[in-house]
């Protein structure tokens, strides 16, 4: 690279909502620092983002970054097939989708990367790819690019997967219901209970497609030149320090839409309902926001108990009832009677701009599945959490929220969902006095996030260091 020339990175995002969001914001962040980014989305993700009724903010159907490019950032954009037809129902056939990402996607992405590398000016120097991909190391080596692994989740989750062999050696891998003793041998993790491991680490069957993805992805990530992580140093200090002894690990979060994010791009895969008018009519902090992320499912019986608990609590609520929340085959899982009884106390919507809803002054609590983006967004808006983890990293994230940071409470852990507990916990979180400790605690954590993003904050310094190291390596 010539002196003063900008680094050029190809950035490939994992084709799920919770990964596309931080990847797009990372692209903007890096481009604002002087990177040239060529962003690759799958055709299916591109189709979802651009075919919504309201379409993108820039009105340009072919390029989700058109508006930020107008403001001077050099972000190029292209799409690639994930191996399945665009119209394929990836939620209904999740395993088939994952299998395609594991076995078929790499050939398509390789072809696209080869074309970009051969034709791009200036030359490409880095490949930034989601840690869950299994091929970045191989392709980076083949095209002589630096390999930057982008980890969109907590550092704690990264280290658990990184030390999977240690968990296996000690008999804690795949041991749900068999072991209850604390795990105290993972570097940088004081202690963690087996029930707080990710669902893949707990599950008895350790041969699923998702397990194969995790094994291969972490084998690949261990040799990455850099890992960028969507967390902040102050939130997970010991875990991050221990990881830094093994791998160049940079905490550069929170990578979420914030008011500091001057340039925004529409990343929602589904049409967003606007609840501003409804929220405007409610008192400050009086509304519970209920959402279980972009792909986890809830059983029908739990859903009905939740709805009855919400009714009993007498608290206002906005509930994101995704059409596939129970299953793609049961698009209206709540009985009409319950919906009628709710009346104006609650608003049911299929999808929304979560960042905007959480930022509304009427929101006072978030009943959540504990997705990592949701947690960061909720902290950013100082909204305490009611935790009902369902899948993957969400069990471990719950531990961080409830046990470590004390910014939320558990909902029906260890017991079956029941409406009485739902209503009691909602009141505990939302009421002025009982919810005070959580509001105070989350205010402090928000402050840490804000400081990390200041010019002399940890994430900005880490970003500077990452940039310098990249420059040093590609001169
Ligand atoms: C899963 C994992 O649980 C999560 O930890 C990981 O980081 C990504 O994959 P997901 O179910 O998508 O996540 O949840 P989450 O991480 O919370 O991401 C969901 C994203 O969708 C958030 O950015 C949220 O703002 C957005 N969202 C959700 C909306 O914009 N509208 C909605 O109605 C619901």
- Complex-level ipTM: 0.99
* Cβ neighbours around 298 below 10 Å, total: 20
Tell me the average pLDDT of the chain: 94
Nearest CA to ligand 1 atom 3: 371
More confident site: 177 or 239: 239
Residue 359 class from Cβ within 10 Å (0-12 exposed, 13-18 middle, 19+ buried)? middle
Ligand 1 binding pocket includes 295 (Cβ within 6 Å): yes
What is the mean predicted confidence (pLDDT) over 85-100? 95
Ligand 1 pocket mutation, candidates 354, 394, 408, criterion most atoms within 8 A of CB:
354
Please tell me the predicted confidence (pLDDT) of residue 55: 45
Question: pLDDT above 70 covers what percent of the chain?
Answer: 96
pLDDT at 90 over 90: yes
From the CA of 355, give the closest atom in ligand 1.
Answer: 25
From the CA of 349, give the closest atom in ligand 1.
Answer: 33
More confident site: 57 or 294: 294
Ligand 1 binding pocket includes 351 (Cβ within 6 Å): yes
CB 243 within 8 A of CB 251: no
Please tell me the predicted confidence (pLDDT) of residue 260: 53
Please tell me the predicted confidence (pLDDT) of residue 359: 97
Helix, strand, coil shares of the chain as percentages rounded to 5? Answer: 45, 15, 45
- Ligand 1 center to residue 16 CA distance, Å? 9
Respond yes or no on whether the N-terminal peptide bond of residue 122 is cis (omega within 30° of 0): yes
Ligand 1 binding pocket includes 392 (Cβ within 6 Å): yes
End-to-end CA, the chain: 5
Q: How far is CA 437 from CA 22, 405, 408, 444, in A?
A: 30, 11, 9, 11
pLDDT at 461 over 90: yes
What is the mean predicted confidence (pLDDT) over 304-314? 96
Distance CA 243, CA 169 (A): 20
Ligand 1 pocket mutation, candidates 199, 293, 317, 318, criterion most atoms within 8 A of CB:
293
Q: How far is CA 364 from CA 267, 285, 317, in A?
A: 25, 4, 10
Please tell me the predicted confidence (pLDDT) of residue 60: 54
At 104, list the tokens: 């078929």
pLDDT (tens digit per residue) in 3-33: 568 999 999 999 999 999 999 999 999 999 9
Ligand 1 binding pocket includes 65 (Cβ within 6 Å): no
Please tell me the predicted confidence (pLDDT) of residue 273: 97
Q: Can you tell me which residue has the tokens 């001057």?
A: 262
What is the mean predicted confidence (pLDDT) over 199-211? 94
Please tell me the predicted confidence (pLDDT) of residue 412: 78
Please tell me the predicted confidence (pLDDT) of residue 63: 86
At 383, phi and psi to the nearest 5? -110, 115
Please tell me the predicted confidence (pLDDT) of residue 442: 98
Of 48, 74, 72, 71, nearest to 61 (Cα)?
48
Band of the pLDDT at 264, cuts 50, 70, 90?
confident
pLDDT at 261 over 60: no
Residues 6+ apart with CB under 8 A from 256: 21, 22, 25, 355, 373, 376, 377, 380
Q: How far is CA 151 from CA 289, 334, 423, in A?
A: 27, 36, 36
Handedness of CA 243, 244, 249, 254 (dihedral sign): positive
What is the mean predicted confidence (pLDDT) over 350-378? 97
* Cβ neighbours around 116 below 10 Å, total: 17
Distance CA 377, CA 383 (A): 9
What is the mean predicted confidence (pLDDT) over 410-424? 87
At 449, list the tokens: 């996030």
pLDDT at 195 over 90: yes
Please tell me the predicted confidence (pLDDT) of residue 246: 97
Ligand 1 binding pocket includes 389 (Cβ within 6 Å): no
Band of the pLDDT at 262, cuts 50, 70, 90?
low
Distance CA 208, CA 88 (A): 21
- Ligand 1 center to residue 138 CA distance, Å? 29
CB-based burial, 43-57: b 16+ in 10 Å, e otherwise: bbbbebbbebeeebe
Sheet architecture: strand order including 8-12: 75-80, 36-42, 8-12, 126-130, 146-151, 226-229, 249-251
Q: How far is CA 460 from CA 38, 255, 445, 472, in A?
A: 22, 11, 17, 18
pLDDT (tens digit per residue) in 115-153: 999 999 999 999 999 999 999 999 999 999 999 999 999
Nearest CA to ligand 1 atom 8: 18
pLDDT (tens digit per residue) in 324-345: 999 878 888 899 999 999 999 9
Q: Can you tell me which residue has the tokens 């420059």?
A: 471
Please tell me the predicted confidence (pLDDT) of residue 5: 80
Of 321, 355, 358, nearest to 338 (Cα)?
321
Of 362, 356, 363, 361, nearest to 386 (Cα)?
363
pLDDT (tens digit per residue) in 25-74: 999 999 999 999 999 999 999 999 999 754 444 445 678 998 888 889 99
From the CA of 368, give the closest atom in ligand 1.
Answer: 17
């Amino acid at each position: 690279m010539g002196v003063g020339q900008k680094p050029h990175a190809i950035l490939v995002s994992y084709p799920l909502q919770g990964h596309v969001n931080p990847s797009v914001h990372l692209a903007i962040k890096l481009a604002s620092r002087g990177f040239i980014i060529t962003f690759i989305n799958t055709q299916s993700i591109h189709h979802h983002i651009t075919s919504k009724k309201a379409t993108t903010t820039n009105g340009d159907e072919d390029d989700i970054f058109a508006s930020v490019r107008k403001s001077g950032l050099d972000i190029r954009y292209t799409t690639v097939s994930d191996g399945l037809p665009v119209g394929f129902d990836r939620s209904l056939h999740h395993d088939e989708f994952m299998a395609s990402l594991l076995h078929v996607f790499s050939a398509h992405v390789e072809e696209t990367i080869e074309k970009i590398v051969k034709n791009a000016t200036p030359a490409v120097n880095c490949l930034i790819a989601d840690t869950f991909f299994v091929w970045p190391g191989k392709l980076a080596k083949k095209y002589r690019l630096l390999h930057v692994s982008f980890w969109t989740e907590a550092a704690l989750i990264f280290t658990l997967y990184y030390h999977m062999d240690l968990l296996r050696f000690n008999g804690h891998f795949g041991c749900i219901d068999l072991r209850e003793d604390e795990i105290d041998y993972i570097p940088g993790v004081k202690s963690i209970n087996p029930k707080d491991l990710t669902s893949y680490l707990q599950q008895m069957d350790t041969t699923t497609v998702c397990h194969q993805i995790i094994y291969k992805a972490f084998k690949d990530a261990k040799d990455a030149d850099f890992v960028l992580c969507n967390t902040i140093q102050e939130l997970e200090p010991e875990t991050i320090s221990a990881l830094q002894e093994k791998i160049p690990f940079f905490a550069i979060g929170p990578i979420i839409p914030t008011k500091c994010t001057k340039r925004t791009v529409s990343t929602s895969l589904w049409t967003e309902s606007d609840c501003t008018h409804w929220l405007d009519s409610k008192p400050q902090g009086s509304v519970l926001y209920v959402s279980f992320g972009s792909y986890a499912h809830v059983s029908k019986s739990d859903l009905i108990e939740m709805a009855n608990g919400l009714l009993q609590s007498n608290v206002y609520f906005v509930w994101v009832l995704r059409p596939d929340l129970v299953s793609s085959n049961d698009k209206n899982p709540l009985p009409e009677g319950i919906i009628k009884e709710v009346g104006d106390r609650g608003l049911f919507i299929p999808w929304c701009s979560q960042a905007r809803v959480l930022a509304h002054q009427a929101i006072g609590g978030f009943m959540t599945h504990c997705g990592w983006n949701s947690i960061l967004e909720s902290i950013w808006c100082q909204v305490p959490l009611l935790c009902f983890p369902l899948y993957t990293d969400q069990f471990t994230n719950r531990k961080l929220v409830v046990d470590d940071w004390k910014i939320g409470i558990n909902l029906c852990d260890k017991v079956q969902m029941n409406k009485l507990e739902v209503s009691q916990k909602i009141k505990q979180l939302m009421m002025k006095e009982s919810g005070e400790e959580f509001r105070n605690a989350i205010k402090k954590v928000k402050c840490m996030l804000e400081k990390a993003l200041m010019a002399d904050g940890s994430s900005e310094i880490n970003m500077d260091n990452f940039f310098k190291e990249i420059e040093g390596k590609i001169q």
